[in-house]
Amino acid sequence: MGWGGGAALAGAREGPRLFGPSSASFRKRERPLRPQAGRTNVSRPPLSPGGCLLSFRMRDTPPSSAPGRLLAGTLLILFLPGRGAAGVWGVAQNGPFGSAPSLSHVVSTQPFPLLPEGSSGPTTLVASAQARPVPPPRAGLAGGQQAPPLPDVVELTIDRIQADYRAGRYTAVDLTRAFLERIARYEDRYNAFVSLDPDALAVAQALDEEYRAQGPRGPLHGVPLVIKDNMDQAGRVTTVGFWGFSSATGGVDMIPADDATVVKRLKAAGAIILGKTNLPDFAGHGTRTNSSVAGVTLNPYRVDRAPGGSSGGTATAVNASFAVAGLGTETGGSIQNPAAAQALVGVKPTYGLVPLKGVFPMDASYVDVVGPLARTVRDAALILDVIAGPTTDDLATFAAVGKIPEGGYAQALGKDPLAGKRFGLVGEGWRDSFLPLAPETDSLYREAIRVLVGRGAQVVADPFAGSGFKEVYRRMPRVPTQSAHDRLVYFQGLGPSAAFHSLEEWEALTGRTFPGGGARRPPARPSATEEGDAFQAWRKEIRALFRQVLAQHGLDGLFFPQAGAPIPPRVEDPARPDYNPNNHPELPSNIVNHLGLPVVTVPLAYYADGTPFVVAFIGDLWTEAKLLSWAHELEQATRARVPPRLER
């Protein structure tokens, strides 16, 4: 039993100062309903031990006529028999808040006294909140003994979690609480999230009950994960990092009726979705993750360095051990770049391997992919096993029929050793930008090649030199209608209850002009246009040339540094703080994206400044199993990844 409906509460007096375990400030926005001024609609919470998570938006009302600060956050309200609401823990966008109300404050129509720390006036709740029941606090053991501590989540892997569940060391509820506590402690500093899922603990409790009754639901049973906030969750706002898709930032909530297919698959495998992660507006930046919804995401290794984009929120959450792993998307480096900036395994799959239904598009017709970001190759492979494969939700995925290894990607690890394989090395036959390598990058790359050769592999320097590959790539044709088509298909799939189903409807609701020009063209299906035909012909030509080079040199794949130089600064020019060039020195992208090729990154070393050096295996279409196997062998040989030391 939870709280229902649209509470519209006004705080008329100052409440007691915050108490609770966290002083972090989250930028959390869950589905804010329309305000219902002057009334409350809160049903009575359970009187047995338990509680609920409450996501909210509030307006801090100043004494003058100036507009108040808009606050967003999450409350954890605990109930104890005979004591009512025993405590409120919460975090808000502009600072901590809290109170210790009696039960009458909660279930009556009297104001709920909440005041953000340091605010100048009473707080008015300007939009209603969602609430979900959560399990009660962990009880002490018999004889007054303390309950065992929550598990240590730092660098925790999927295999370790499943082994711990089998051994009864902790429950999914314990593990989820441990991750939420870590998020509460450090999120204010690193800003990985747009929203936390208020159902996470309730989902964990249901999974524990299911485990006791019939065993694990699937390979990700009870595994806390995160998803990028361009992937749909039913009933939750999908912001795509853009202020205009969130009422909390002055836009209109974009609320889908259904989960994205990849999210459905995660849930069906038993995963717990902790929250949705930050991304630059429309996933449109490959270096920094700065959004108009949630602000700036930081790199846990060095906060003055870029976190990578556009899946930087997922990368930071995974790198900081706010989750076991997560999903990102890529159109041009957006999985690889944050993986390189944060020493992660990133899988940019072959176009068509993973369904895109319910993912806000940049180029869904030809390029967009969804893939895992993880701290280990095996975790990435286990997640790819869950999200990959054909579905009628996205007919492009039927291209993968017969292309997925029998038994899956995780089972294939170790079956294709590096010994005897031949790899092409990066050179100026591949591209001009970010080459030659920066001196320190070149030194680390040479060491990486030494390790590769030490495993029995052979290498070929700059195999694309003299092939004309760069020249063919420069001739890539554009498809003007692609963006308008792909976005309209997405909007039309939001469901009948969505506030809008086209850019025109959004503009009518907001009175604003939608940013960008490409989406305003007629939304013709690209395959119905001559420009679309030209792109497909070009892609067939350059794929043939790519394969010709591999065959000419007897190559099994390519072995590149993911970046041609160290990770760039988060603020490129202190004299111009808003200057934000898209300058991650990526080497595989955007070439691999336009060809649809798979890439797997793996951390291999660290620069003198403490930021990571990450390599990338690149292969022909549908070679994910080989790339993962090679990356796994290199990972096990080097054990290079070192977790960051977080600061508050």
Amino acid occupying residue 138: R
Catalytic annotation, pick one of 310, 321, 365, 483: 310
Write the DSSP string, 172-234: HHHHHHHHHHHHHHHHHHH--EEEE-TTHHHHHHHHHHHHHHH--SSTTTT-EEEEETTB--T
Chain centre to alpha carbon of residue 175: 19
In whole angstroms, give the CA distance from residue 505 to residue 519: 14
> Strand pairing partners for 25?
none
The dihedral of CA 335, 337, 342, 348: what is its sign?
positive
Candidate list 25, 99, 128, 228, residue with the active-site label? 228
Token pair, residue 197, equals 């899922």
- Reading phi first (left if > 0) and then psi (alpha if -120 to 50, else beta), residue 554 is in left
Task: List, in sequence order, the alpha helices (H) in 436-502.
Answer: 439-454, 469-474, 482-492
Q: What Rg value do the Cα atoms of the chain yield, rounded?
A: 25
Is residue 103 packed enough to be buried (19+ CB in 10 Å), middle (13-18) or exposed (0-12)? middle
Catalytic site residue 421?
Answer: no
Separation CA 284–CA 200 (nearest Å): 29
Residue 540 sits at φ, ψ, to 5 deg, of: -65, -40
Place of tokens 């995401």: 297
CB atoms within 10 A of CB 258: 17
Let me know the angle formed at the C-alpha of 615 by 613 and 621, rounded to the nearest 5 degrees. Answer: 155
Which token pair is 241? Answer: 């990092």
Report how far Cα 637 is from the mean position of its chain's Cα atoms.
28
228 catalytic? Reply is: yes
Q: What is the per-residue DSSP string for 292-312?
A: TTTEE---SS-TTB---SSSH
Cα–Cα dist 280/315, whole Å: 13
The angle at the Cα of 208, spanning 206 to 210, to the nearest 5 degrees, equals: 70
Structural contact between residues 388 and 354, judged by C-beta atoms closer than 8 angstroms: yes
Between the alpha carbon of residue 251 and those of residues 196, 245, 628, the distances in Å are 20, 5, 41
CB–CB of 318/366 below 8 Å?
Answer: no
Residues whose CB is less than 8 angstroms from the CB of residue 462 and which lie 6 or more positions away in sequence, other chains included: 424, 425, 426, 427, 428, 429, 430
Q: Which of 311, 334, 483, 589 is labelled catalytic?
A: 334
Distance between CA atoms of residues 67 and 523, nearest Å: 40
Distance between CA 69 and CA 144 in Å, rounded? 45
3-state SS, residue 76: strand
Cα 90 from Cα 77, distance rounded (Å): 9
Residue type, 397: T
Tell me the three state secondary structure of residue 551: helix
DSSP SS3 for 241 = coil
DSSP at 519:
G
- Among all residues, which ones are annotated catalytic? 228, 310, 334
